[in-house]
Amino acid sequence: MTPPDGPAPVTVTARCAGCGACLLTCPTHAIRPHGGTLLVRAALCTGCLECVDVCPVDAIDENAGFDAINRPHDPTEVSPR
């Protein structure tokens, strides 16, 4: 589900078992219950991917087009390292 503040760096999918591990892990509290599922609020999500790492059923997908600080970017651009 797309949050009302736009797409976020991650999305909780239908595979979610509702265990709440992501809720407890998210350092910015960007993941919230919403209508029987979980919603990632783009305005708060930094794209740290801690929720992805902790999910026991791999129900959180990383969305293309975001860098690690929650800013849309052009995937064809190469970031300097």
Give the tens place of pLDDT for each residue, 1-51. Answer: 545 567 889 999 999 999 999 999 999 999 999 888 899 999 999 999 999
Q: E-strand spans in the chain?
A: 10-12, 31-34, 37-40, 60-62
pLDDT at position 1 is: 52
3-state secondary structure of 53: helix
Q: Which helix (H) or strand (E) holds 23?
A: helix 21-25
> pLDDT tens for residues 47-71?
999 999 999 999 999 988 776 555 5
Between CA 27 and CA 43 the distance in angstroms is 13
In this prediction the pTM is: 0.74
Beta pairing class for 10-12 and 60-62: antiparallel
